[in-house]
Structure 1
Amino acid sequence: MNNKILNRVVFIAIVTLVVSCKPKTEEVIVDKEQIKIEIQAIENKMAELFNDRNINSEEYYAKDATSFSQNKPPIVGKLAIRKSIKDDLANFPSGYQIAFVVNEVHPSNDGIQVVEIGNYRVSDSTSTALYTGNFIAVFEKREGKYVCIRDMSASDRPRLESKTEDKKE
């Protein structure tokens, strides 16, 4: 009988030890709407910087970001992306404005990464839409704030055919 009691006590002690040593997982609650608001604020700031032609102060991209733009090879690194944007802005007519709209966000289960699907609109000084496009961006939360680590955009403008292609027809 003492053996049965001892076996039960040992069994209960082992079960208690195993249960108490099990790592506790914290459930992370991801507020998709709040993340969408955060990402839209980032996009609004980026549009403001574009429209002010002041890309030097932007904090949109991570240092190790890669941007995929039309008719260009991938642009790797925050400094290279900044230079590419500056070059693009040099050809962006005065008075033109851009706006970015977040259509969807798809956060990871822990909210650390977010895939954004959005669109943009370029308008002239009278707010007449000149052209639009779409983009996908991947954000990662670093040091408490989201930064873009990858993005890709596509314009809705028809592709301009080159004179060489016209001659082939």
Structure 2
Amino acid sequence: MKNSIFKGGLMVVIMFVMLACNQKKEVPAVMVDKEAIKTEIQAMENAFADAYNNRSTDGINYYAEDAISYSNGKMPLEGKKLIHEHMNSELLTFPQDAKISFETKEIHPSNDGNMVVEIGGYKVTDASNKKINSGNFISLFEKKDGKYVCIRDMGNSDMPLTKK
């Protein structure tokens, strides 16, 4: 009798251990191709620069409708429409022979690739390719309908301040 109680108890313990050790297997994380994302973001930056250099914001499909943009000494610009209006006013004083370019230096995608933080730099040159302005920026992108759009960005010039 003691032997069958012992065997029954041992069997319960073994089954309990087996069930406890049978953990759910983790689903492998989605592989995010950082280089492909960086290439895609850089292409967006190039298209932005091309449109800006052509003195038009019409070709800038960079921002989400509800984007917010932060700049030095200015209130945040809320919404794609207001951001584009501000860019149009900046273009009025942008030197005619100047060109802007953007460089994606780093990207930091979320595990699923639906959000991306970009760290980059910009440079404005004159007709002789002399730097007349430069700076850095950070942008947050979200993937909507299969493509990235900027939902937040912040930039600042790294040029020395001029005294007024």
- Residues 100 and 122, structure 2, Cα contact 8 Å, conserved in 1: yes
Unaligned 5+ residue runs, structure 1?
163-169
The residue that corresponds to 1:139 in the other structure is 141
Q: How does 1:11-160 map to 2 (within 5 A)?
A: 25=27, 27-160=29-162
Give SS of 2:58's match. Answer: helix
TM-score normalised by L of structure 2: 0.83
Residues 24-68 of structure 1: per-residue CA shift (max 9 Å, x gap): 846311011111111000000000011001102311000010000
Shift of 1:114: 0.5
Aligned equivalents of 1:104 and 1:112: distance in 2? Answer: 16
Aligned equivalents of 2:94 and 2:74: distance in 1? Answer: 17
Shift of 1:23: 10
TM-score normalised by L of structure 1: 0.80
Aligned equivalents of 1:64 and 1:160: distance in 2? Answer: 34
Aligned equivalents of 1:47 and 1:76: distance in 2? Answer: 21
The residue that corresponds to 2:5 in the other structure is none
One-letter amino acid of the counterpart of residue 81, structure 2? L
| Alpha-carbon distance change, 88 to 32 in structure 1, aligned in 2, over 3 angstroms | same
Aligned equivalents of 1:121 and 1:82: distance in 2? Answer: 20
Give SS of 2:61's match. Answer: coil
Residues 99-128 of structure 1: per-residue CA shift (max 9 Å, x gap): 000000000011000000000110001212
Give SS of 2:137's match. Answer: strand
Give SS of 2:132's match. Answer: strand
Larger radius of gyration: 2
Give SS of 2:138's match. Answer: strand
Runs of 4 or more consecutive aligned structure 1 residues displaced over 6 Å after TM superposition: none
Residues 50-109 of structure 1: per-residue CA shift (max 9 Å, x gap): 100110231100001000011210000000000011111111010100000000000001
Aligned equivalents of 1:23 and 1:57: distance in 2? Answer: 47
For the aligned residue pairs, the C-alpha RMSD in angstroms reads 2.1
Unaligned 5+ residue runs, structure 2?
1-7
Aligned equivalents of 1:24 and 1:147: distance in 2? Answer: 31
Aligned equivalents of 1:147 and 1:59: distance in 2? Answer: 8
